[in-house]
Amino acid sequence: MTRLLFFIVLTVAPLLVGFAAGAATAVIRGWGDRDVHVDVVNESGQRVKSLALDVESCGVRNALARGSLEPGDRATFRFMVCGEGGYELRAQLENGAELRGHGNYVEGGYRATERVRRSDIVSAVSAVSAVSY
């Protein structure tokens, strides 16, 4: 009985602790998250009156909308794609200017940052790898 208890304490318990630590790390770091995240940053120097993200995946188009965004603020759109898809950001500034981003290709797990500036929208899209530091 003492040998069995000794075996459990020295082998099984550390394995369980290691598994729990790995699972917690995966959740905290977002590994396995298949949603697309698009962060929008207002660098225009004025209030963005409205944002719309036109998403297309599997031949279906959807529009995600958000209200105003103050200068320097950030908003995040999160959506799913079936395999692959694309999106385009539209922004209406307080001065009435309407800006349209360049269409971007995305797959599940991608992250993108859209920077709304005075006269254009600048994109940066990246695939999140299974192990990112």
d(CA 66, CA 75): 9
Mean pLDDT of 112-126: 95
Per-chain mean pLDDT for the chain: 88
Strand arrangement of the beta sheet that strand 74-79 belongs to:
74-79, 36-42, 110-116, 121-127
Residue 53 main-chain phi, psi, to 5 deg = -115, 115
pLDDT of amino acid 130: 41
Sign of the torsion formed by the C-alpha atoms of 113, 68, 84 and 109: positive
Cα separation, 22 vs 27, in Å, equals 9
pTM: 0.74
